[in-house]
């Protein structure tokens, strides 16, 4: 007869798909509780990610099948998709992989920003449309899109771009007027206002990411009457979704998860 290993962790196993402040906050909250064995997954895009409060793996799974295989191999009891609202591919993969592996799935997604009085917003369905909406005449544009999709700016080389991203844009954009700032939020409204004024910005390109950390640029643009070209969120799969860490913890508790089998 084989005796159970007394050192084996028998807590339910959770996988959090991360790369966001929400994923980090959830991992932190669960680590403090101690009643789940939590691991986090990052795409591996950011060169120096912040320290995380749970064991972390990095890099793609190899599509839906790869993620489903990972869920099975690691005996994951519940999957939480806490990826960024614009990370549509991994969210689709998560929905399908959870179905294949028979693992309960929850999405944790911050609410979108909504227009407030004084906001001058132009909505765009995607980044190429947002770039086109800058118009023909040259403008001074703060680009807050992250670095992965900024190549779309090359379609409108007449503008002067101030491109902000965590990691450098490499190679630089093939446009005559671009400057680059490497910075990681949160960004305070007063600092954003100073930045917009210093560079005489007259348009802000933004994704509708939601959340407090990068809202300062929208408050600053409102105060200065500057137009924001706001890129709408991509479609996400229809899965149960909550907006807060507390609600995600409540969902987990409601699952009444059994211990992972040996």
Please report, as ranges, the residues that interact with ligand NAP according to CB under 6 A.
Answer: 17-20, 41-43, 45, 60-63, 66-67, 83-84, 86-90, 93, 146, 148, 207
Output the CA torsion 149→128→226→168 (10° steps): 20
Tokens of 222: 């409102």
Q: Least separation, in Å, of the C-beta of 138 and ligand NAP? A: 27
- CA-angle at 222, arms to 84 and 213, nearest 5°: 30
Question: Three-class SS of residue 56?
Answer: strand
Our CB check for ligand NAP shows the closer of 83 and 152 to be 83
Distance CA 181, CA 164 (A): 5
Q: Least separation, in Å, of the C-beta of 30 and ligand NAP? A: 16
Our CB check for ligand NAP shows the closer of 42 and 103 to be 42
Question: Three-class SS of residue 105?
Answer: strand
Q: Least separation, in Å, of the C-beta of 200 and ligand NAP? A: 27
| Phi then psi dihedrals of residue 39, to 5 deg | -130, 155
Q: Least separation, in Å, of the C-beta of 175 and ligand NAP? A: 21
Our CB check for ligand NAP shows the closer of 27 and 193 to be 27
Our CB check for ligand NAP shows the closer of 147 and 193 to be 147
| Pairing assessment for the beta strands 120-124 and 140-144 based on DSSP bridges | unpaired
Our CB check for ligand NAP shows the closer of 63 and 168 to be 63
Q: Which helix (H) or strand (E) holds 140?
A: strand 140-144
12 within 8 A of 37, measured Cβ to Cβ: yes
Q: Least separation, in Å, of the C-beta of 228 and ligand NAP? A: 16
């Amino acid at each position: 007869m084989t005796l159970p290993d007394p050192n084996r962790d028998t807590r339910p196993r959770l996988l959090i798909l991360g790369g966001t402040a929400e994923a980090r906050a959830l991992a932190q909250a669960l680590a403090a509780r101690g009643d789940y064995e939590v691991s986090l997954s990052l795409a591996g895009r950011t060169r120096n990610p912040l320290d995380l409060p749970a064991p972390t793996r990095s890099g793609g799974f190899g599509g839906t099948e790869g993620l489903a295989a990972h869920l099975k191999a690691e005996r994951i009891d519940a999957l939480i998709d806490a990826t960024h609202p614009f990370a549509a591919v991994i969210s689709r993969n998560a929905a399908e992989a959870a179905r294949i592996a028979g693992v309960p799935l929850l999405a944790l997604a911050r609410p979108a920003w909504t227009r407030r009085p004084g906001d001058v917003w132009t909505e765009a369905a995607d980044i190429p449309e947002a770039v086109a909406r800058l118009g023909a005449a040259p403008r001074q544009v703060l680009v807050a899109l992250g670095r992965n999709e900024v190549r779309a700016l090359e379609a409108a080389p007449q503008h002067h771009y101030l491109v902000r991203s965590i990691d450098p844009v490499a190679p630089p954009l093939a446009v005559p007027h671009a400057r680059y700032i490497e910075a990681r939020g949160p960004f305070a409204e007063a600092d954003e206002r100073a930045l917009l004024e210093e560079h005489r910005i007259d348009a802000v390109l933004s994704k509708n990411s939601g959340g407090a950390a990068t809202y300062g640029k929208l408050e600053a643009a409102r105060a200065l009457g500057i137009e924001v070209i706001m890129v709408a969120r991509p479609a996400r799969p229809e899965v149960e979704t909550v907006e807060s860490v507390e609600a995600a913890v409540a969902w987990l508790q409601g699952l009444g998860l059994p211990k992972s089998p040996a």
